Amino acid sequence: MKMERAYTLACDDILSNKNYIRFCYMVLLAGLREA
């Protein structure tokens, strides 16, 4: 769960850059797999 928070914060920051939205989703998927 702690990792999810880190990913969420990273996502929030990355959302400001539309180019990184895809990367954000990939990171979230990786985080969910680990969890």
For 3-25, write each residue's pLDDT tens digit: 677 666 666 665 566 656 677 77
Q: What is the DSSP letter of 29?
A: H
* Residue 19, token pair as written in the block: 């180019």
Q: Residue 12: which H helix or E strand, with range? A: helix 2-14
Q: For the whole model, what pTM was predicted?
A: 0.37
User: Cα(13)–Cα(4) distance, rounded to whole angstroms?
Assistant: 14
Neighbours of 8 (CB within 10 A): 13
pLDDT at 34: 73
Say if residue 1's pLDDT is above 60: no
User: 28 or 21: which carries more pLDDT confidence?
Assistant: 28
